[in-house]
Structure 1
Amino acid sequence: MSYQSSFINGSFSKPTQRKLTVSNKFSNETIGELSFCDDEDLEKAISTSVNAFESYRNTSAQFKYECLKKLLGSLVANKDKLAQLICEEAGKPISYALSEVDRSISTVEFAVEESRRIRGDIIPMNFLNAVGRSSFTKKVPLGPVLAISPFNFPLNLALHKIAPALACGCSVVLKPSLSTPLIGIKLAELIASAGFPKGLVNVVICEDELSERLVRDERFKLLSFTGSPKVGWYLKSIAGKKKVTLELGGNAAVIVDETKDLPSVAKKVAIGCNLYAGQICISTQRVLVNENIYDDFKELLVQEIKKLPIGDPNNAQTIIGPLISADQVNRVQNLVDSAIREGANDLIGFELSRKEENILGPYLLENVCTTDDLWSEEAFAPVAVMRSFKTFDEAIAMVNDSKYGLQVGIFTDSISKVKKSLDFIDVAGIIINDIAGFRIDHMPYGGIKDSGLGREGIVYAIDDMTFEKLVVF
């Protein structure tokens, strides 16, 4: 599969000298070649986005609804092709790639629903110096949105930015990950064929220098970024006066209390640590277990991890496929080797890595120091660390011992411990009796602390993409 270049104002831009080769992350075979955009392409992407916004912002809710419905139909009709493309360019196991397309369909369904019920509030009046007056607010689209999406959910996370924008009246310039750009280009084609105005969704293939120019451009009114904390906070620092939302991941923990059925919990945690090779913002990285059940649970968890199918993402049984690049394989291997040199134990105990296919691990480590990167930073890999706790208060302190605050999973049958978790754990999402990786696409999703700003989920993203205009009469 091959495309010419960026998709701007309804068509592909002209080829340029600088090329991007897109590979199958498992076989390393080339599956596409794109041209990087140049200064002229970038200006065209921005200016046509501004023009499209002006023509689209006040179109009827019915028009937005009908176009979104057509896009929804296109996603359904192309489900298998989209999943195969995700599998190849992201290295995502095919069963999980199909799940991503299903979630993307749900995301657009939610946008379809919300497109006809964007509303403001009635403001109480008729007292003090407002006697005889009435007031209401109207949600108004903010303006062109710059969306920067990551490799790990190249379709659904792009749609978490694009779909609410289309529902509320904003235009979008999407800058997809250079590891997975083809799905973004394909999505732009589907959007164009759904009847939206030209330029409403442009997709640019550009490197860091031009990406920064996009972020600094004052014609964008919102930057929506999903990716690493280092990059996200830097982009916020150069974004100027525009609104910024950031989804930056974390090092999610799970607490396993002694009240639960251990075999069933071990199965969930094993998958939670390793699904899509751990390349998920809410992948379980820190496993905290009551000391009374620690040894029993450790044995069960090791057994479950060793059962996980590893290898070709085209195999429907595969759970752990390749990491996104050889550089990431080397990064993670260095982290694991460093932790082991400092005294950590590798509980899996046999080598499963196939670096020629970008496959690494899985690893389950104990005795990892809390100052080690595998405890304090985001691994984004099939790597988890285990520690025991004596009291539930100690477990809460361990969860909070992080600069991140996205989601946590808590396995317990104690209502008092559930309540204590809600009151004292410093994360944005608390998942009871499931792994931290639970998500459905309408819920408010995002983090606190270094995990980000703002929330995804169609209703919540629309709030970020609109402002309330007050009317008093």
Structure 2
Amino acid sequence: MTYSHLNGAYINHQWFNQNSNTISVKNKETGELLSEVSLLEKDQLDSAIDGSVSAFKEMRNWSAGKRYDMLEVLIQKFKAKKDEFATLISLEAGKPISYAKAEVARCLSTLEFAKEETRRICGEVVPMDFAAGAGKTAFTKRVAKGVLTCVSPFNFPLNLALHKIAPALAVGSSVVLKPSPYTPLSSLMFAELLNEVGYPEGALNVVVCDNDVAQMLVEDERAKVFSFTGSPQIGWMLKSLAGKKKVILELGGNAACLIDESADLEKAAKDLAVGCYLYSGQICISTQRIFVQQSVQKKFQDLLLKEIETIQCGSLSDESVIVGPLIDRVHFDRIDSWVKEAIEKGASVLVGAKAFDEKRNIYAPTLLTNVSKDAKVYQEEVFGPVALISTFDSIEEGFDLVNDSRFGLQCGFYTNNLSHFKKAHDTLDVGAIIMNGAPGFRIDSMPYGGVKDSGLGREGLKYCIFEITEPRLVIF
């Protein structure tokens, strides 16, 4: 199966595909070519930003009703192509088909939430009838800041792009999006839909380009918001170049999960076997560090290993598979080297630590123990099917272990102790705590984001809308 028509940037409802510099987008399982995509040059990127500025001038004046109606038409057109999108996501992202279908379902939720929020964007009445303001009334309305420039990652190639696009459409902003070079096709196909719906030229421009060209997305003063999802090294560097723009960063982490002696151990084991290895661990909130209270460590570890034995690895088209190919050979090799480093530093292998299918870049679900705190699999985001397990005595020690990280995105905590529950909310330095669930829980309306090196700002429709709009005050 090929997608050769998706072969360049999509700007102002036109394809830019005449440049000789290209990238090959491949089926991540078989290596089959899906499309050869022409890379954009600097002068062409300039036209993409210019087109989005023009679109914003039109869209900013749309009523909430029109924005609602346009999103409704977009949703219906997307629904008609949902199976096509699921297949494409599976192939270009190396995502098991069952999980690709789940992503498409989330895309629909994201768009639905955006549509609903168009009718709820509001300001506030500002108290002013006193002192020098006596006799005055004041209120605010929220207005769009302007053009959004965005960079999205490979692991949710459409839904994470929609977490930037959908709120923008809800408030009447236009978007210039740079998708991952591993997975540009889903976003390009989605951009075509906006043309069919009747959005103005430049409402969504999808640019596929080298990083030095993409730097214009951060630096160009015509854009008013820059949103990035990716690695902390790149994200914080780009923020330093953003000037006066509003910046939103979603940067991942090494998510931890606490299990105390009051927990439902069987539930925790079932949840975490999936939470550690779903989509080969290529999820920002995939469970990486598991901390278990010493008194229940042996029982829980045995339960978890039993659940890991049931994890299916293999072909993307198999509905039962949750561990498929990693996105690229370079990441397979990196993960393998990090696991070997941990073993050299004294870690013990409970399961895995080897290739499941090296030819297809499938790494076996891996669980390590006795991992040194200076090992990369402990300190960094593995973004692969690797987890580690260790113990703590007091709950305070457990909280300290979770917080002993430069990241702070989401944490899971299995407990039936109310005082531990309350203390966790006060103590854990993360963006969200999932009580009696794995860290990987997310619905698309909730405020999502982290602290420390995990990011800046929040996504989730209502919360992203707050980030990309500003209050305008009127006094009379």
TM range (shorter): over 0.9
Partner SS, residue 347 of structure 1: strand
- 1:154 alignment partner in structure 2: 157
1:368 lines up with 2:379 in the alignment: no
Aligned length: 473
8 A contact 1:223–1:245 mirrored in 2: yes
Partner SS, residue 209 of structure 2: coil
Partner SS, residue 91 of structure 2: helix
Partner SS, residue 162 of structure 1: helix
Deviation at 1:125, TM superposition (A): 1.7
1:89 lines up with 2:103 in the alignment: no
Deviations 1:201-232 (A, max 9, x none): 10000011101122111111000000011110
1:160-179 counterparts in 2 under 5 A? 160-179=163-182
Give the whole-Å Cα distance in 1 for the aligned partners of 2:48 and 2:28.
29
Partner SS, residue 295 of structure 2: coil
1:4 lines up with 2:7 in the alignment: yes
1:39 lines up with 2:45 in the alignment: no
Deviation at 1:263, TM superposition (A): 2.0
Partner SS, residue 292 of structure 1: helix
8 A contact 1:104–1:155 mirrored in 2: yes
- 2:27 alignment partner in structure 1: 24
Give the whole-Å Cα distance in 2 for the aligned partners of 1:14 and 1:317.
38
8 A contact 1:4–1:15 mirrored in 2: no
1:300 lines up with 2:323 in the alignment: no
Deviation at 1:349, TM superposition (A): 5.0
8 A contact 1:306–1:348 mirrored in 2: no
Deviation at 1:40, TM superposition (A): 2.7
- 1:65 alignment partner in structure 2: 68
1:80 lines up with 2:83 in the alignment: yes
1:334 lines up with 2:337 in the alignment: yes
Give the whole-Å Cα distance in 1 for the aligned partners of 2:42 and 2:264.
59
Give the whole-Å Cα distance in 2 for the aligned partners of 1:136 and 1:83.
45
1:422 lines up with 2:425 in the alignment: yes
1:276 lines up with 2:279 in the alignment: yes
Which of 210, 214, 217 is the matching residue for 1:214?
Answer: 217
1:288 lines up with 2:291 in the alignment: yes
- 2:256 alignment partner in structure 1: 253
Which of 57, 62, 67 is the matching residue for 1:54?
Answer: 57
TM-score (norm 2): 0.98
Partner SS, residue 470 of structure 2: strand
Deviation at 1:102, TM superposition (A): 0.5
- 1:223 alignment partner in structure 2: 226
Deviation at 1:264, TM superposition (A): 2.1
Partner SS, residue 35 of structure 2: strand
Partner SS, residue 136 of structure 2: coil
Q: 5+ residue gaps in structure 2?
A: none
Deviations 1:277-333 (A, max 9, x none): 000000000010011111111111112112100011111000101110000000000
8 A contact 2:264–2:415 mirrored in 1: no
Give the whole-Å Cα distance in 1 for the aligned partners of 2:84 and 2:183.
15
Give the whole-Å Cα distance in 1 for the aligned partners of 2:111 and 2:353.
43
- 1:411 alignment partner in structure 2: 414
Which of 196, 204, 209 is the matching residue for 2:199?
Answer: 196
Counterparts in 2 of 1:139 and 1:354: CA distance versus 1, 3 Å? same
- 1:131 alignment partner in structure 2: 134
RMSD, aligned CA: 1.0
- 2:384 alignment partner in structure 1: 381
Deviations 1:377-403 (A, max 9, x none): 100000001110101110000000000
Give the whole-Å Cα distance in 2 for the aligned partners of 1:450 and 1:350.
27
AA partner of residue 293 (structure 2):
N
8 A contact 1:18–1:35 mirrored in 2: yes
Deviations 1:70-110 (A, max 9, x none): 11112211111111100000001111110101011000000
Deviation at 1:412, TM superposition (A): 0.4
Counterparts in 2 of 1:470 and 1:350: CA distance versus 1, 3 Å? closer
Partner SS, residue 187 of structure 1: helix
Deviations 1:430-473 (A, max 9, x none): 10000000001000000000000000001111111111011000
Q: 5+ residue gaps in structure 1?
A: none
AA partner of residue 276 (structure 1):
Y
- 2:320 alignment partner in structure 1: 317
- 2:189 alignment partner in structure 1: 186
Deviation at 1:350, TM superposition (A): 7.4
Identity of aligned residues (%): 49
8 A contact 2:293–2:392 mirrored in 1: yes
8 A contact 1:5–1:13 mirrored in 2: yes
Give the whole-Å Cα distance in 2 for the aligned partners of 1:321 and 1:133.
63
Give the whole-Å Cα distance in 1 for the aligned partners of 2:119 and 2:42.
38
Partner SS, residue 198 of structure 1: coil
1:228-247 counterparts in 2 under 5 A? 228-247=231-250
Give the whole-Å Cα distance in 2 for the aligned partners of 1:170 and 1:11.
20
- 1:346 alignment partner in structure 2: 349
Partner SS, residue 54 of structure 1: helix
AA partner of residue 434 (structure 2):
I
Give the whole-Å Cα distance in 2 for the aligned partners of 1:129 and 1:56.
38
8 A contact 2:345–2:375 mirrored in 1: no
8 A contact 2:17–2:37 mirrored in 1: no
Give the whole-Å Cα distance in 2 for the aligned partners of 1:390 and 1:61.
55
1:266 lines up with 2:269 in the alignment: yes
8 A contact 1:326–1:355 mirrored in 2: no
Deviations 1:18-47 (A, max 9, x none): 111100111111111110011232111010
Deviation at 1:241, TM superposition (A): 1.2
Segments of 4+ moved more than 3 angstroms:
349-352
Give the whole-Å Cα distance in 2 for the aligned partners of 1:194 and 1:460.
26
AA partner of residue 446 (structure 1):
G
Give the whole-Å Cα distance in 2 for the aligned partners of 1:4 and 1:298.
48
1:140 lines up with 2:140 in the alignment: no
Deviation at 1:261, TM superposition (A): 2.5
Counterparts in 2 of 1:47 and 1:349: CA distance versus 1, 3 Å? closer
8 A contact 2:336–2:354 mirrored in 1: no
Deviation at 1:353, TM superposition (A): 2.2
Give the whole-Å Cα distance in 1 for the aligned partners of 2:353 and 2:441.
29
